[in-house]
Amino acid sequence: MKYFDNDNMQKAATSFDNDEWKAAAYYKAKDYQKAYDLFKNDNSATGLYNQGNALTQLGKYKEAIDAYEQAIQKRSDFEDAKSNLEIAKELEKQKKDQNQNQNGDGDSDNQDQKDQKDQKDQKDQKDQKDQKDQKDQKDQKDQKDQKDQKDQKDQKDQQDQQDQQRAKYSEQDRKKEFDENQADKALAMIDDDPGLLLRNKFARDYQRMSGGRGEN
């Protein structure tokens, strides 16, 4: 009893043999679970009232409301039980409201996460489209470059063929010109005086004839 008087409630609780005194000591020591475990052995109106008080301190408001209501049923003029019943109901209501707000915040967080995911998906789709557009543009440019290179090669091949053809014609022209020059030189060596040609012929004939008489 001296521990109880000195507010040493834990030691007081262990020193008592009476459950009611032990429960009261645990309750004052704020060990509400041990207090409730002992209070629930008493099903009188007072015992149910004490159970309701311990359950309220543990945050178990629904069970506390049930305990207070049972206490009031057993004693209809139990004003303390009625007062604490209203307190327990208000605390339960606040707890529900808080849970709903938390759920609402959870829904809001889920919506925010969904919105963020949607934005990321849209960005990823846009990035993929941009990459595809860039690849298409590059492919088109590569095809154009290849076509330009082919056109340039074809033009060069045509130019080379034309140059070779012109070179061939130039060589033929030079040969033809050479042949014509050679013919002109050969013709220039021939005397174009018919009279001289005839005199030379007569001289040769005369020499042959003269030579023939001498031998005779």
- Domains of the chain, by residue range, sit at 2-101
By the 8 A CB rule, do 65 and 88 touch? yes
Q: What is the rounded end-to-end Cα distance, in angstroms, of the chain?
A: 200
The torsion defined by the Cα of 148, 150, 155 and 161, in degrees rounded to 10, comes to 170
Residue-wise pLDDT for 36-92, tens only, equals 999 999 999 999 999 999 999 999 999 999 999 999 999 999 999 999 999 999 999
User: How far apart, in Å, are the Cα atoms of 66 and each of 83, 87, 155, 207?
Assistant: 14, 13, 102, 174
Rounded to 10 deg, the angle between the 32-39 and 19-28 helix axes is 160
pTM exceeding the 0.95 threshold for the entire prediction: no
* Cα separation, 54 vs 197, whole angstroms: 163
Instruction: Give the type of residue at 90.
Output: E
Percent of the chain with pLDDT over 70: 68
In CATH terms, the superfamily for domain 2-101 is: Tetratricopeptide repeat domain (1.25.40.10)
The residue type found at 27 is Y
Instruction: Kindly tell me if the per-residue pLDDT of 192 is higher than 60.
Output: no
Q: Is the dihedral of CA 111, 114, 119, 122 positive or negative?
A: negative
Q: What is the pLDDT of residues 107-138, one digit of tens each?
A: 666 677 777 887 888 788 887 887 877 777 77
